[in-house]
Structure 1
Amino acid sequence: MTEKFTVEQKERIVIESFIATNIAELCRRHDVSVAQFHRLKERFLEGGREGFGESSKGDEYQKEIDDLKRLVGDQALAIDALKKSRHGRK
């Protein structure tokens, strides 16, 4: 089943299930067994798109965010040190 649907299709099926009144009918329309659907939904709820195999991009973004936070923190410390050294000279 993993190759049968794209990430977007899996996502659409699970999201559609949130408003569906009949899960069996939803599964028939998308040619998915009820067991497969429940696995998709569980994976989706556990990790959203990451649960469907797109975690590497998210990991890259998180690393970049962490690096930028560190950089901002370093700059804040440098600015604070400069301010303190200026006040000490007056």
Structure 2
Amino acid sequence: MKRTLVVLFAAMLSMAGYGQKIKGSDTVLPLSQKEAEAYKGGSVSVTGGGSGVGISALIEGSCDIAQSSRKMKFTEKKKMESAGKQPKEVVIA
């Protein structure tokens, strides 16, 4: 099964030294938590709630990375674009 991680501004935030907030898929959550624990370069907060919750949080700007076990819906992409953000989907598994 493919799992998709939606990434927005992640590289910029990590280069700037800011903590990152990751939210979304409960399916991807265990993997993200392990990676966050292993990451020594800064503060990483990982929470679940579901793919839709993570994508909504990304659109609203309350998280930096939305983890999703599905592709973004057309309507979600349009909302991101309306918010002035360009989504980037990255398959992680």
Shorter-chain TM band:
under 0.3
Larger radius of gyration: 1
Of structures 1 and 2, the one with the larger relative CO (CA 8 A, separation 6+) is 2
Q: Which has the higher helix share?
A: 1
TM-score after normalising by structure 1: 0.25
